[in-house]
Structure 1
Amino acid sequence: MFRSLTRDAIAAFRGSSLYAKYVVGLSFWFLGTQAASAHVKWFCAYDAAGQPRSLENVLCQDFELLLGLALFCFFSGCLVERTSLGELTARSLNRFTDGLRLHTEEIIRAVCGFFFVSLWAVGGILLTPELKTTSPMVGPLQLAIAAGLLWRRTMPLSAAGIAVLFGLAVRDYGTFHLADYPIFLGLAAYLALTGLQKDLFGIPPLDVVRYATAVTLMWASVEKWAYPEWSFPLLIEHPGMTLGFDSEFYMRAAGMVEFTLAFALAWTPLVRRVAAAMLLGMFVSACFEFGKLDVIGHSAIIVVLIAILSDHQPREADYRAPWLAPAGLCAALTVTLFAYYVGHAATFNTSIL
């Protein structure tokens, strides 16, 4: 049976269309993809309560091909980490990011201040462009959050303000919608813990926001599989992003790239730094493509990625055996897909299959 399956797989691989998809899928790991960075809810119409693509449609042959590529790339990166090449890469990153690492806290505070002042200036927004509000108290609160970031002692107050805005968004848009944005709770935790000079049960503040960022991007990647049609207008408007491939395959690839790099943020020291660098390049390039709204909306996540890239003080406990990488990625993918579809069905009474 195994030999039969192997022969079938080789025959399928030799097919021109599958071979082309293999090549373009692999190229995404080196070139990145702007669609994985642009938040479609900010630019296109969407229906969060609509029926998502069935899991049978999502878990197709293209998905399996892309997952295989993701496992190969991720496992290869983990193998390289503790070799001389990995050490050379780490030293090179250290030289490039030393100055940033020494001022991580100040950079995060400055960019978060810019973010909340920008929200106040635009007006009518809670935390991200699609979270609209008419409350007259939100603008002053955003200014107060920005002002509190000027001094370390008042950073916990700014963190409390972010939590209030997040709570208002949950009230107005629901828990499932705000599952897109746990990064804001992570930022609030970072600011509070840094201001108080404390850890969270032994977890450093930067690691708290790192994990929150990983969960945010993994969750967002599922939307690219569940609702690829939301992004189709963007791909029509920016046809160069698809590299000449059909929109369906492109969105599956974009989701897989984003999910794998997001999971890598929660993995070992060099792997997460390289993943942060790749995501950073994707988010910054998307800002040039999509303009001012994207700059403001993604400034918080960009500064967190810079902080992760600059962090080169790993603990021995941060390292894991490379063979755990594929199992970890598959487990995270399974849990995230399950949580998304079950949560959506429970919230909006839609079908899972």
Structure 2
Amino acid sequence: MKKVLSIGIMFGLLLTPLLTNAHVKWFTEVEPQKESIENILSPLFMLLALTAAVVLGILTLLIPKTTNWKQIQNWDARLSSLRKYSRYILKYGTAIALIIQVVNGTIFAPELPITNTITTVLAWISIALLLIPNHIATKIGAALLLCLFVFVTVDHGIFYMLDYGFYVAIIGVLLVGKTKYENVGFPFLYLGTGLSLCWVAVEKWVYPAMSLDIVANHHVPTFGFDPAVFIVMAAYIEFVVGYLLVVGILNRVLGLVVTVIFVLTTMLFGMKEVIGHFMVHIVLIIFIIEGVSFYNPPIKMHKTKIDQFIFVFLNFLFVLSTFVLIYYRFA
């Protein structure tokens, strides 16, 4: 069983498309053209939905068995010893990510340019406060960062900024530090990051022409698949990663795998990828360190294995349908 699961993880990593975690709008000038809902809900889309739901359900039965492996226990112990640094990594990592962005004339994402002096000043004040080793300064810096996020959201719209909803989660973690609500911070970070990944994934289904342009112009390897099929599969991988973070399955493995993928996409897409995804790297490092020790995943509501399988299977299909319909209607 151990060898089978290890081979499965390695196989999945090798086949994970480099386009998976790229924000499409960063790398193409093609005007968004919404695909018809009939074409989105193709037989391939339906087949992959059912396949993903079954695989996710099976994971709920297999993953608990790995906790008894000695190698996994040793890995878990070493990573757990680093948990005391998680909040510092998030705090100073956020400051560094903001520095990279502001120096390059953007805020939160490469396609969101800084258009006025006030934004620049507030961003640098927030950075300075985050660099101060004091929880009050951290909270003030996080509050300023929240104000900046609200200002940008007013300009670009709520549904556009859902791509970067993980920033709200990061801000939340920084605000609740050293308070009675501190324990809800990292679960909120898991939830916010997972939902953001799911939201970004749907973009590739609704606006496939943008992704096709990236595949053609950046020579993205499609592993022998037709580009249109490849894009549908890539979006599913990203959506599944986000869903797994939310339900609390394979968080450390996911963090490691996605981090490796981001490194590969950096070599493919260059500096813009670094600017856009540096903050996500920080979050993934925290996921690798933290695991789910503090998180009571939704699947734990169900005690038996069959109940957990059914919950994950049906819940995945429900979440997938909801995201596609909301994105198609409002984004």
- TM-score normalised to the size of structure 1? 0.81
Aligned residues: 311
Give the aligned residue type for 2:139: P
Deviation at 1:258, TM superposition (A): 0.4
* Cα pair 2:205 2:232 within 8 Å, conserved: yes
Measured on the aligned residues, the alpha-carbon RMSD in Å equals: 2.2
Which one of 188, 198, 212 corresponds to residue 232 of structure 1?
212
Give the aligned residue type for 1:331: F
Q: 1:245 aligns to what?
A: 225
* Cα pair 1:148 1:154 within 8 Å, conserved: yes
Give the aligned residue type for 1:246: D
* Cα pair 1:34 1:285 within 8 Å, conserved: yes
Give the aligned residue type for 2:234: A
Deviation at 1:128, TM superposition (A): 0.7
Work out the percentage of aligned pairs sharing the same amino acid: 24
1:66-215 → structure 2 map (5 Å cutoff): 66-83=48-65, 85-88=66-69, 90-95=72-77, 97-123=79-105, 125-150=106-131, 151=133, 152-194=135-177, 196-199=178-181, 204-215=184-195
Summarize the Cα distance change of 1:226–1:29 in structure 2 as closer, same or farther, 3 Å threshold: farther
Summarize the Cα distance change of 1:132–1:301 in structure 2 as closer, same or farther, 3 Å threshold: same
Q: 1:23 aligns to what?
A: none
Summarize the Cα distance change of 1:30–1:73 in structure 2 as closer, same or farther, 3 Å threshold: farther
Tell me how far apart the structure 1 counterparts of residues 169 and 45 of structure 2 sit (CA, whole Å).
30
1:254 matched to 2:237: no
Tell me how far apart the structure 2 counterparts of residues 266 and 135 of structure 1 sit (CA, whole Å).
36
Summarize the Cα distance change of 1:45–1:313 in structure 2 as closer, same or farther, 3 Å threshold: closer
Deviation at 1:61, TM superposition (A): 1.5
Deviation at 1:162, TM superposition (A): 1.6
Tell me how far apart the structure 2 counterparts of residues 57 and 343 of structure 1 sit (CA, whole Å).
18
Tell me how far apart the structure 2 counterparts of residues 114 and 315 of structure 1 sit (CA, whole Å).
26
Summarize the Cα distance change of 1:143–1:68 in structure 2 as closer, same or farther, 3 Å threshold: same
Tell me how far apart the structure 1 counterparts of residues 22 and 82 of structure 2 sit (CA, whole Å).
25
* Cα pair 1:190 1:205 within 8 Å, conserved: yes
Summarize the Cα distance change of 1:182–1:312 in structure 2 as closer, same or farther, 3 Å threshold: closer
1:308 matched to 2:280: no
Deviation at 1:333, TM superposition (A): 0.4
Give the aligned residue type for 2:122: L
Give the aligned residue type for 1:212: G
Alignment deviations for residues 69-92 of structure 1 (CA, whole Å, 9 cap, x no partner): 312321222111222x24427525
Tell me how far apart the structure 2 counterparts of residues 122 and 308 of structure 1 sit (CA, whole Å).
27
* Cα pair 2:33 2:209 within 8 Å, conserved: no
Tell me how far apart the structure 2 counterparts of residues 316 and 156 of structure 1 sit (CA, whole Å).
23
SS state of the match for residue 309, structure 2? coil
Q: 1:9 aligns to what?
A: none
* Cα pair 2:197 2:239 within 8 Å, conserved: yes
Summarize the Cα distance change of 1:313–1:225 in structure 2 as closer, same or farther, 3 Å threshold: closer
* Cα pair 1:228 1:251 within 8 Å, conserved: yes
Alignment deviations for residues 288-314 of structure 1 (CA, whole Å, 9 cap, x no partner): 221222112111112112212221453
Summarize the Cα distance change of 1:191–1:314 in structure 2 as closer, same or farther, 3 Å threshold: same
* Cα pair 2:173 2:188 within 8 Å, conserved: yes
Q: 2:330 aligns to what?
A: 343
Summarize the Cα distance change of 1:145–1:229 in structure 2 as closer, same or farther, 3 Å threshold: same
SS state of the match for residue 247, structure 2? coil
1:334 matched to 2:293: no
Summarize the Cα distance change of 1:283–1:198 in structure 2 as closer, same or farther, 3 Å threshold: farther
Summarize the Cα distance change of 1:51–1:173 in structure 2 as closer, same or farther, 3 Å threshold: same
Rg comparison, structure with higher value: 1
- For structure 1, which segment, 279-288 or 210-219, has the greater mean C-alpha deviation from structure 2 after superposition? 279-288
Tell me how far apart the structure 1 counterparts of residues 295 and 186 of structure 2 sit (CA, whole Å).
17
Deviation at 1:130, TM superposition (A): 0.7
Give the aligned residue type for 2:225: F
Q: 1:19 aligns to what?
A: none
Tell me how far apart the structure 2 counterparts of residues 234 and 316 of structure 1 sit (CA, whole Å).
37
Tell me how far apart the structure 2 counterparts of residues 312 and 41 of structure 1 sit (CA, whole Å).
31
Deviation at 1:27, TM superposition (A): 5.5
Tell me how far apart the structure 2 counterparts of residues 217 and 136 of structure 1 sit (CA, whole Å).
31
- For structure 1, which segment, 135-144 or 209-218, has the greater mean C-alpha deviation from structure 2 after superposition? 135-144
- For structure 1, which segment, 306-315 or 204-213, has the greater mean C-alpha deviation from structure 2 after superposition? 306-315
Deviation at 1:263, TM superposition (A): 0.4
Gapped regions of structure 1 (runs ≥ 5): 1-25, 345-353
Tell me how far apart the structure 2 counterparts of residues 324 and 286 of structure 1 sit (CA, whole Å).
34
